[in-house]
Amino acid sequence: MASVTVVAMSDLPATSTAFDLDTAVERVADGAYAVTVSDRWNALGGGPNGGYLLGLCLRALSAEAPHPDPIAVSAFFTGRVAPGSAELRARRLRGGPRLATGATELLQDGKPVVQATATFADLAAGGRTLELVEPPELPPPDDCLDLLGERSIPGLTIADRIEYRVPELPGWARGEPSGDPSADFWMRFADGRDADTLSLPMLVDAAAPVVLELGELGSITLQLGVHVRARPAPGWLACRARTRHVIDGYHEEDFELWDERGHLVAQSRQLALLPS
Amino acid sequence: MASVTVVAMSDLPATSTAFDLDTAVERVADGAYAVTVSDRWNALGGGPNGGYLLGLCLRALSAEAPHPDPIAVSAFFTGRVAPGSAELRARRLRGGPRLATGATELLQDGKPVVQATATFADLAAGGRTLELVEPPELPPPDDCLDLLGERSIPGLTIADRIEYRVPELPGWARGEPSGDPSADFWMRFADGRDADTLSLPMLVDAAAPVVLELGELGSITLQLGVHVRARPAPGWLACRARTRHVIDGYHEEDFELWDERGHLVAQSRQLALLPS
C-alpha cells in the first residue's frame, strides 16, 4: 500500500466544508483508520444517513487508490450505527494502470456496520459517448421552492447540510401523499461546497425517500449501488428519483444526478425495506 | 459459522443440472472452499461469464447463510479468470433473524478475481406490494424464434447452457446493428432446470450485451448489482435489457427478469467497459 495519503482532522484547513470535515479519516496502521461518525448527517429515523457513512468509507478507499474517481461503488448496511468513534479497515483487491478496486468495512464496537467496495478510475480519460435520456425537466433553481424553507425537522440534521429546491411542494410535505413514488428536484451542499466524484455517492442517498408518497414514514437502506459517470460541473444537481416495484415490503429506489450542463454524473439503485 | 452445508461434487446426484454441477463448492476449511471454474459457461471474449462466477460465489455464501434467498448481491470483477481450479473464501458480516450478509472472494493463483457480497432473507415472508411497471410485451415463447437456432458460435459455451427466444432476430444477429441498445426476449436453462433465487443473479448476466446493437463487439463487466425480488415460477423468464448512457467508454446495462406469471423476479444493473 504505497503512497497512502494520510488525511487527519488536524491536516484540514479551518475553512473545510462540513462534508470534508465529517468524512476525515485518520490512518492509525496499515489499512486501518480511526473515524468519528458525526451527528450532523442524521436522516429520518434518527441515525446517520447511509450515504454519509458510505462517504466515510470512500474517503479511506480513495486514500488507498491510485486513481481519482470511484466509478462503481456498492455498500451493504449490516448494523445500526451511532454518532461517535468507529474504525475503518481498507484493503486493495486490484491495482492497475486503468482500474483499481478496494474494499472496506466500517466497524463500531468491533461489529461490521457498513461494508463498501469501490472501483476507481480516471473519468477524464475519454471514450465513446452516447446519451439516450434527457435530464429532468425542471425550472431553474431560483424559480423553485426551498423544500424545507424555514421548517426544521427535529433530529433530521442532514437537512441542514443539503439544500433542496422543488418545482412544487411534494404531496408528502403537504400531508397528501400522491401515490406516485417519484420526484424531480434540485440539490446542492448548503455550505457552498461543489459536488465531486467522492461526494456523489453520498448525494444519491441524501434526499427524502420517494416512498413517502405512498404514505410510508421512511425507508431503511439495505444495499446501495452507485455508478459515478462523470465529474460534475460546479453548481446545482438535478435529481430524478423513482420507486417502481414495492414487493413484499422491499423496494428499489433509482436515483440519477445530472449537473447544470445537463450531463448525467451519477446513477444509483438501492434496495430498501419499508419500516414496519 | 455453525450449520454449514457441505456441498461437494460427490454429494450431487448424477441427474444434477449443469448449473448445479458447475457451481459445486467443496468446503476445505472454515469459510474456505475449493471450486472448479468450468469451461461450459464461456462468454463473448472467451473467458467464463461473470454471472456464472457470481453463481459460484453465491453457492458458497448460501452455504453459510441462515436464510434462503439472496435479495441483494454485488460483484466486482477484478481480474482475469481461466477455467480450472480456484479458491473461495467466505465470511459472515451479519446474521440476524430477518437478514444475513456474507462476503466472499474468488481467488485464482492467489489473486482476487471476483469479490461478491450478498444479503440473504426469506422472500416468502410477505409484506406490502405495489407494481408500477408492466412485464415485457412478448409473444409466447413457442411463437418466438430460437435466437441461435442451429448456429453455434465457437467458444461461446454459455449459449449451449441457455436457450433464448426472440420475437424477431436482433439487428446485431443479422449483421445490421439497430443503433438502439435495448432488447426484450425469453430465456431459460437449456437442460430444463427451473430458475430459482440462487440462479437469477447468474441469469441477469447471461444474455448478449445490448451494446452489440451499437456495433460494439462485446462488453466487459466491471461491477454487477442484482436485487432478487421474488421466487420465480417454473418456466420461461421474460427479459428486458437496456443501456441508456454510454459515457467515455463506460456503460450501464439494466436487466429485468419476469416470470411466466408476470411477476418481476430480479433486476440488475452492471457497469461495463466497451472493448477497445
- Residue by residue, DSSP assigns A1-58 as --SPPP--GGGS-TT--HHHHHT-EEEEETTEEEEEE-STTB-TTSSBPHHHHHHHHH
Interface probe with B: pick from A92, A217, A250, most Cβ of B within 10 Å: A250
Cα–Cα distance, A70 to A117 (Å, whole number): 10
B10-14, B35-39, B180-184, B253-257: lowest mean pLDDT where?
A: B10-14
Asked whether B22 and B39 are in contact (CB, 8 A), the reply is: no
- pLDDT at residue number B185: 98
Residue A190 clears pLDDT 60, i.e. is over it: yes
Smallest Cα distance from B108 to chain A, Å: 13
Predicted confidence at residue A152, as pLDDT, reads 77
Residue of B nearest to A265 (CA): B247
Collect all residues of chain B within an 8 Å Cβ-Cβ radius of residue A103: 115
pLDDT band at B85 (very low <50, low <70, confident <90, very high): very high
Q: How far is residue B137's CA from residue B116's CA, in Å, rounded to a whole number?
A: 33
Nearest chain A alpha carbon to B75: A74
How many other C-beta atoms can be found within 10 angstroms of the C-beta atom of residue A243?
A: 25
B267: chain A residues, CB-CB within 8 Å: 245, 252, 269
pLDDT at B15: 59
B245 and A264 within 8 Å at the Cβ level: the answer is yes
Cross-chain Cβ contact A115/B132 below 8 Å: no
Nearest Cα to A25, choosing from A4, A1, A9?
Answer: A9
Instruction: Please tell me the distance in Å from B210's CA to the nearest CA on chain A.
Output: 13
Closest CA to B218 of B209, B229, B207, B228: B209
What pLDDT score does B9 carry? 47
Would you state the pLDDT for residue B6?
44
Measured between beta carbons, which residues in chain B are less than 8 angstroms from residue A244? 131-133
Residue holding cell 437442460? B191
Tens digits of residue pLDDT in A257-271:
999 999 999 999 999
pLDDT of amino acid B2: 37
pLDDT tens, residue by residue, B3-12: 334 444 445 5
Is the predicted pLDDT of residue A5 greater than 60, yes or no?
no
Arithmetic mean of pLDDT, A198-225: 97
Computed over every residue of chain A, the mean pLDDT equals 93
**pLDDT top residue among A46 and A54:** A54
The size of the A-B interface in CB pairs under 8 A is: 161
When mean pLDDT is compared over A44-53, A122-131, B143-152, B263-272, the highest value belongs to: B263-272
Query: What pLDDT does A3 receive?
Result: 39
Question: CA-to-CA distance for A77 and A75, rounded, in angstroms?
Answer: 6
Backbone φ and ψ of A170, nearest 5°: -65, 155
Query: Which of A101-105, A243-247, B41-45, B78-82 is predicted least confidently?
Result: B41-45
Average pLDDT over residues A221-237: 98
Q: Do A128 and B249 touch (CB under 8 A)?
A: yes
Q: What's the pTM value of the predicted model, to 2 decimals?
A: 0.94
Residue B265, burial from CB neighbour count under 10 angstroms (0-12, 13-18, 19+): buried
Q: What is the pLDDT of residue B44?
A: 82
Q: Is the ipTM reported for this complex over the cut 0.85?
A: yes
pLDDT band of B13, cuts 50, 70, 90: low
Distance from CA of A34 to the nearest CA of B (A): 20
Task: Name the closest residue on chain A to residue B225, using Cα atoms.
Answer: A225
How confident is the model at residue A19, as a pLDDT? 97
User: Measured between alpha carbons, how far is residue B44 from residues B53, B78, B119, B155 in Å?
Assistant: 15, 18, 29, 8
Q: What is the mean pLDDT of residues B133-137?
A: 98
User: Closest partner residue to A76 among B117, B133, B267, by Cβ?
Assistant: B117
Over residues B261-271, the pLDDT tens digits come to 999 999 999 99
A163 has a pLDDT exceeding 90: yes
| Mean per-residue pLDDT, A9-20 | 70
- As a whole number, mean pLDDT of residues B187-212 equals 97
Per-residue pLDDT averaged across A167-186, rounded?
97
Taking the C-alpha atoms of residue B32 and residue B125, their distance in angstroms, rounded to an integer, is: 31
Provide the pLDDT confidence category of residue A44 given band limits of 50, 70 and 90: confident
Q: Average of pLDDT values for B229-243?
A: 98
d(CA A65, CA A226): 17
Cell, residue A70: 470511484
Q: What is the pLDDT of residues A65-110, one digit of tens each?
A: 999 999 999 999 999 999 999 999 999 999 889 999 999 999 999 9
Question: Residue ranges of the alpha helices (H) in chain B?
Answer: 18-22, 50-64, 158-161, 200-203
Report CB contact under 8 Å: A128, B94.
no
Q: Between B45 and B12, where is the model more confident?
A: B45
For residue A14, the model assigns a pLDDT of: 52
Residue B154: pLDDT band (50, 70, 90) is confident
